[in-house]
Structure 1
Amino acid sequence: MKTYKKIIIAAVLCVLGLGGALWLLRGNKVTEVAFKEPIPVEASYAKIGSILRRVHTEGKLSAIQTVTLRPQVSGRIEKIFFEEGSRVKAGDPLYKIEDSLYKAKVKEMEARLLEKRGNYERAAKLLEKKFGTPQERDRTFAEMRIAEANLEEAKIQLENTILKAPFEGVMGLSKVSKGALVSESVELANLVDLDPINIDFSIPNSYLPFVHEGDVVDVTIEDYDILPIEATIKAIAPELDEATLKIIIRAQMPNTELSYRPGEFARLLVLAGKTENAVLIPVSAIEREGDEEYVMLVVDNVAVRSTISTGMRDGDEVEIIHGVKAKDLVVTAGQFKLHDGDEVKVVNLEKSDEQKK
């Protein structure tokens, strides 16, 4: 009986001892949690300011004017005056078609006109002497005028045996060679005006009120230019592009060295005025998780996650459309280790709190 009581007393003492140990361990953990140090971060106050509307887009180069040359008369190519890829001026001869038949046609029409003019003059004199009739005079006059028109047509055809450049530009590759028989439907070569050169691009319709003819845009040709080239907006389309619902704009830039060619792609920077009274924060404050952008705000020394919508960016600053208000304190360094609800200590504002102003 005494042995049984000793066992019970020992068991009770063991339980009490284990409970005390657990209580002491739990107390240490609570103390550890209760005295956890705030996480040091750097922060900045959101401010109100203006920001440039910078629109980045892509475009494609196109020629100011281009034409596919075709003969206006048929015949055999007698001479080619240009070198492929060379510059030509407006009016320069390009192709010569054999003209012997056309010269003969002119002589024939000159002889016919001489005959018809003589007939008319005789009919007019006979009518003056009361031997002719007005009808005969009028008939011969009409025949004379037809002969004059036929002669003019023959001269034009003779002139068209020399095909001339309609404008200044660069000749393409000739599609025919000397001796080739050509007609009015045969393509001879392309002539392209390369200086200046067009850049066609598009921007969202919302920026249209801030872009005007005469504005300057920066152009960078892919794999070619290091520094951008200035181009001037020449025309803005009057309607939206049906496929993209954007506005198509055409700019022009110099191409004196003929370095750029139609079909090349370009990157453009369009300045579309300023946004006034915008909420601005440093770009370094923004974090991303999937498609979501967010910042960590400091509210009463506690980190609060806020999902944001961003607008324009200019250098190190970004416009906030939604999620941050002016004078909100935004974490700019150290936010990667924060969680919503963490206690924080802003270390860069201890000595100066002037950013609020």
Structure 2
Amino acid sequence: MKIGRIVIAVIVVAAVAFTVYRFVGSKKVEVVTDTRPGVMTVEPERRDIVIYTEQIGTIAPTQSVSVFPKVGGEALSVNFNVGDNVNAGDVLATINSDALTALKIQMDAAKVTMNDTATALSRTQALADTGAVATQVLEQARSAATSAALNYEAAKSQYELQSSYTSIKAPISGVVETKGVKVHDMIAQGTAIATISGNSGMEVKFGATVDVQNHLKAGDQIKVLHNGTEYNGNITEISNALSSSTGLYDVKASLEGEALQSGMKVKITLLKNKADNVLTLPISAVMYSGNDAYIYLYREGKAVKKNINVGIYDSDYIEIKDGINTSDKVISTWSNELYDGAEVLLSQNEGVESSADETVGNAETESAGNK
């Protein structure tokens, strides 16, 4: 009987122990989780922001002259072709001008009149020496001879001048770019027979918008790309008036590189905008509501919304005109849990908050009985 009671007691104790183990020993430790969104911060920095733009330009000779005849007529000879190198003064073409024929007739007539009046003066002078004619008659003969001589000289000068125009000469040395005449063509004044590109080098011409034109000045360097080869250039001329044909400001720049030829299309890289030593933030730190820009500042564990005014920006940074200073800590990570006054958790690598504020435990702990 005594042994039986002991067995019963052991069974009761075991049952109690099992019950305690079920309801106490196996109870899990509660997991405490920090629900604040984690954020990282940056401090505003001063830097330069430089923005470049690309334009398409056309290569042209620095000096280009169109050749026009000064008299009209038939082309008797044409002594050039496209691509020829010519020197200043070379005869490009000759013209047979009807106007020149008329001037020749006038000159010859004036010469006859001059000779006749000279002969009359000589006879009158002889008669005057004998007293056969009055002094007044002699003076009239002298005046007529003088007038006739002047008329002849004028007609001769006009003829010689127009005659020189029948030989059309190259005004500069260079390469013939265009040809607009053939032998026996009738040429009119004001019609170009050729275009000559000078030997003084090449330039690139392009149009600039007003925001680009405002940041350009003579002497600025540009980069020109053609078929994978880059050339350097310097701006030489910037128009202050909009072109009626393009609506842009015409710009010219001299170029280094003999491989570039007139008419080539090239890509130009030049300054579009620049801000020196301005306060900046990474673009990712700035958010917008409509057209209004804002940021979140980190202050004593909270996100504080701050409206700002922004300026120009490149691919990485944006200019901050006002609203913050260099000592502010700006939240640079986005979260849909951010709002003005929201409690946030500064990332551990910021060195501000310890891991004690982060999630306690990774998952459920082991049961107390297995520790």
Query: TM-score range, shorter-chain basis?
Result: 0.5 to 0.7
Aligned counterpart for 2:80 among listed residues 79, 82, 104: 82
SS of corresponding position for 2:350: coil
Matched, 1:231 2:230: no
1: distance between equivalents of 2:213 and 2:72? 53
Aligned residues: 311
Partner of residue 161, structure 1:
166
Partner of residue 68, structure 2:
70
Structure 1 residues 120-269: aligned runs within 5 Å: 121-122=118-119, 125=122, 130=128, 131=133, 132-184=137-189, 186-193=191-198, 195-202=201-208, 204=210, 208=214, 212-213=217-218, 215-221=219-225, 224=227, 227=230, 229-237=232-240, 248=249, 250-254=251-255, 257=258, 259-261=260-262, 264=265, 266-269=267-270
Structure 1 residues 276-295: aligned runs within 5 Å: 276=277, 278-286=278-286, 295=295
Quick one: structure 1 residues 292 and 268, their matched pair in 2 at CA, closer, same or farther if it must change by over 3 Å?
Answer: farther
Provide the TM-score with structure 2 as the length reference: 0.63
* Structure label with greater radius of gyration: 2
2: distance between equivalents of 1:57 and 1:231? 15
Please state how far the C-alpha of 1:344 moved relative to its aligned partner.
3.3
Quick one: structure 1 residues 85 and 37, their matched pair in 2 at CA, closer, same or farther if it must change by over 3 Å?
Answer: farther
2: distance between equivalents of 1:269 and 1:98? 52
Aligned counterpart for 1:118 among listed residues 115, 119, 127: 115
SS of corresponding position for 1:133: helix
- Asked whether the 8 Å contact 1:70–1:187 carries over to 2, the reply is yes
The letter of the residue matching 1:167 is I
Quick one: structure 1 residues 207 and 83, their matched pair in 2 at CA, closer, same or farther if it must change by over 3 Å?
Answer: closer
Quick one: structure 1 residues 207 and 160, their matched pair in 2 at CA, closer, same or farther if it must change by over 3 Å?
Answer: closer
Please state how far the C-alpha of 1:44 moved relative to its aligned partner.
1.7
The letter of the residue matching 1:328 is D
Larger strand proportion of the pair? 1
- Asked whether the 8 Å contact 2:217–2:235 carries over to 1, the reply is no
Please state how far the C-alpha of 1:155 moved relative to its aligned partner.
2.1
- Asked whether the 8 Å contact 1:56–1:270 carries over to 2, the reply is yes
2: distance between equivalents of 1:207 and 1:174? 36
- TM-align CA RMSD: 4.4
Please state how far the C-alpha of 1:46 moved relative to its aligned partner.
0.7
- Asked whether the 8 Å contact 1:116–1:143 carries over to 2, the reply is yes
- Asked whether the 8 Å contact 1:62–1:200 carries over to 2, the reply is no
1: distance between equivalents of 2:151 and 2:348? 100
Gaps of 5+ in 2: 1-29, 353-371
Please state how far the C-alpha of 1:98 moved relative to its aligned partner.
4.7
- Asked whether the 8 Å contact 2:202–2:261 carries over to 1, the reply is no
Please state how far the C-alpha of 1:139 moved relative to its aligned partner.
2.8
Matched, 1:45 2:43: yes
The letter of the residue matching 1:319 is E
Partner of residue 319, structure 1:
319
- Asked whether the 8 Å contact 1:204–1:245 carries over to 2, the reply is no
What do the CA deviations read for 1:9-48 (whole angstroms, capped 9, x no partner)?
xxxxxxxxxxxxxxxxxxxxxx98x84344444322113x
What do the CA deviations read for 1:213-239 (whole angstroms, capped 9, x no partner)?
3x3231435x645546221333452x5
Percent identical across equivalent pairs? 17
